[in-house]
Amino acid sequence: MSSDRPTDPLSAGPGRTEGPAPESERRLFHLKTLFEAATELSDLTDTGSTLRRFLPVVMGPLGLTFGLGIVVGPDRVEVESLGLMPDDRKRCELAGVGLADRFFQDEPQTAPPPRPTMLTGPHLASDPSLPAGTSAVVAMRLDCDSRGLLILGPRLTKTPYSQDEIELIQGLTDILSTALKRACADERVQTLNASLSENNACLTQALGRMEQARDELDRQAFRLRTLYETSLELSSLNDPKAILDAFLLTLMGTFGFSRGWIGLHGPRAGQVDTAYRGPDPDEAEAVASDKGREKILARFVELKDRMPRANQTELLDDRKAVAALPARADTAVLFSLDQEWHGAIGLAEPLPDQGLHPQGVQFLRSLLGIFIVTLGNAWHGRQVRELNTALTVRNAELQATLDALTRAREEVTVQTEARERIVGLVRGEVARAWRASWLDAWVMILAGVVLGVLFNSASPGGIELVPKSLFAPPPALVAAHEARRMAEAGQAVLIDARPADFHRQEAIPGSVNLPKDLFDFVYSMKLASLDPETPLLVYGRTISRHYDADVARELELLGHQSVMVLKGGLQAWKRAGYEVTR
Q: What is the DSSP track for 157-185?
A: T-PPPPHHHHHHHHHHHHHHHHHHHHHHH
CA 427/CA 404 separation, integer angstroms: 33
Residue 39 one-letter amino acid = T
Determine the length of the chain: 582
- The pLDDT score that the predictor gives to residue 14 is 46
Question: Within its chain, how far is the Cα of 256 from the centroid?
Answer: 25
Question: Within its chain, how far is the Cα of 72 from the centroid?
Answer: 74
- The pLDDT score that the predictor gives to residue 562 is 92
- The pLDDT score that the predictor gives to residue 470 is 64
Return the half-sphere exposure (C-beta side, CA atoms, 13 A cut-off) of residue 318. Answer: 11
Q: Find residue 272's DSSP bridge partners.
A: 265
**Domains by residue range for the chain, with CATH:** 26-104+112-193 (3.30.450.80), 237-384 (3.30.450.30), 477-576 (3.40.250.10)
- The pLDDT score that the predictor gives to residue 353 is 75
Burial class (CB in 10 A: 0-12, 13-18, 19+), 363: buried
- The pLDDT score that the predictor gives to residue 466 is 64
3-state secondary structure 50-67: HHHHHHHHHHHHHCECCE
Q: C-alpha angle with apex 128: 122 to 133, nearest 5 degrees?
A: 40
- With the C-alpha atoms ordered 380, 381, 383, 384, is the resulting torsion angle positive or negative? positive
CA 52/CA 50 separation, integer angstroms: 6
Q: Using DSSP bridges, classify how beta strands 536-539 and 493-496 pair: parallel, antiparallel or unpaired.
A: parallel
- The pLDDT score that the predictor gives to residue 508 is 93
What is the 3-state composition of the chain as percent helix, strand, coil, each rounded to the nearest 5?
A: 55, 15, 30
Closest Cα to residue 148, out of 120, 121, 182, 189?
182
**Consecutive H or E run containing 324:** none
- The pLDDT score that the predictor gives to residue 371 is 92
Residues of the chain with pLDDT under 70: 1-21, 105-114, 432-437, 459-470
Threshold 0.85, pTM exceeds = no
- The pLDDT score that the predictor gives to residue 345 is 95
CA 426/CA 433 separation, integer angstroms: 10
